[in-house]
Amino acid sequence: MPTLHAFANPARFLTIAKPLTPLLTWLGVALIAIGCWAGLTQTPADYLQGETVRILYIHVPAAWLAMGGWSGIAISSIAFLVWRHPLAQIAARAIALPGAVFAAVCLATGSIWGRPTWGTWWQWDGRLTSMLLLFFVYLGYLALARADADRGGDGRIPAIFGIAGSVLLPIIRYSVVWWNTLHQGPSIGLTRSSIDASILWPLPIMVAGFSLLFAGIVLMRMRAQLATVKAEARLRRMARP
């Protein structure tokens, strides 16, 4: 039975990633379409928030993937520093851009949701501020990874930054518990939810759909980066006298 180290081989990874990329991408798109249809047409309006509650179906998956994306960067960075697998470095850099996009979507949908609910577009409370910091950390990682690649670095500095940035994740998760914030407290748990089931049921479909789409995009970006590395190596060989 192959170990995880075996899957870190770029050639073996590509044989798996090539068929998985369209499968995950299109399955994610299909689930998102089903979830949007269900959330927009098959669920009632909230008795307090009205139709604006439907932003839930975009906002929650975006928040989940913004945090999950950075978790992936941190895990990949640890793998790169410990085992020096270049594929782990490529994975971290492939995750960064879609993770930043979902962090931006989370902030944008949160502001749109907050305006009719709270009466303001923005409030410097714990959850909103920590998520904004995560978005800036994503941008910092992207800039640092690009600079490291341009100067021919060994990847250690972006990896260390990827691990250090994970300190924000528990802050975001527990900010509504630790501080008295405008943002509502935890409403969805493993055993119970404060959201009525008639509204909640399309949410797992949307989370699954966006997660599969995210995975498909990451695999696509990893394949593109590996192709670039291969092309650059071939050009260097051709340039030798």
Could you report the per-residue pLDDT of 128-167, keeping only the tens digit for each?
899 999 999 999 999 999 999 889 888 899 999 999 999 9
Residue 71 domain-assigned?
Answer: yes
Q: Is the pLDDT of residue 115 over 90?
A: no
Give dist(CA 221, CA 234) in Å, integer: 20
Residue 9 within any structural domain of the chain:
no
| pTM listed for this prediction | 0.89
Q: Indicate the SS3 state at residue 191.
A: coil
Within-domain flag for 7: no
H helix and E strand count, the chain: 9, 0
Which of 70-79, 106-115, 121-130 has the weakest average pLDDT? 121-130
Q: Is 14 a domain residue? A: no
**Cα–Cα distance measured from residue 25 to residue 212, given in angstroms and rounded to the nearest whole number:** 6
Q: Over 70: is that where the pLDDT of 190 sits?
A: no
Q: Note the pLDDT of residue 118.
A: 80
Q: Over 80: is that where the pLDDT of 193 sits?
A: no
Please count the other Cβ atoms lying within 10 Å of the Cβ belonging to residue 74: 20
Q: Is the backbone of residue 153 left (phi > 0), alpha (psi -120 to 50) or beta?
A: beta
Tokens of 190: 């493993």
Mean pLDDT in residue range 15-29? 95
Please state, in angstroms and rounded to a whole number, the distance separating the CA atoms of residues 163 and 78. Answer: 7
Tell me how many domains the chain contains: 1
Residue 15 in domain: no
Q: In this structure, what are the phi and psi dihedrals at residue 193, rounded to the nearest 5 degrees?
A: -145, 145
Domain that holds residue 150: 51-181+200-235
What per-residue confidence (pLDDT) applies to 174? 85
Whether residue 39 is contained in a domain is answered as: no
Residue 81 lies in a domain: yes
Tell me how crowded residue 109 is: count the other CB atoms within 10 A of its CB. Answer: 19
CA within 13 Å, CB half, 226: 20
Residue 2, pLDDT score: 47
More confident residue, 61 or 193: 61
Structural tokens at position 95 = 């995750």
Q: Which of 58-62, 74-78, 110-114 has the lowest mean pLDDT?
A: 110-114
pLDDT higher than 50, residue 34: yes
pLDDT at 157: 95
Angle of helix 168-178 relative to helix 56-83, nearest 10 degrees?
Answer: 140
Position 240 in a domain:
no
One-letter amino acid at 184 equals Q
DSSP secondary structure string, 59-100? HHHHHHHHHHHHHHHHHHHHHHHHH--HHHHHHHHHHHHHHH
Q: How confident is the model at residue 7 (pLDDT cuts 50, 70, 90)?
A: low
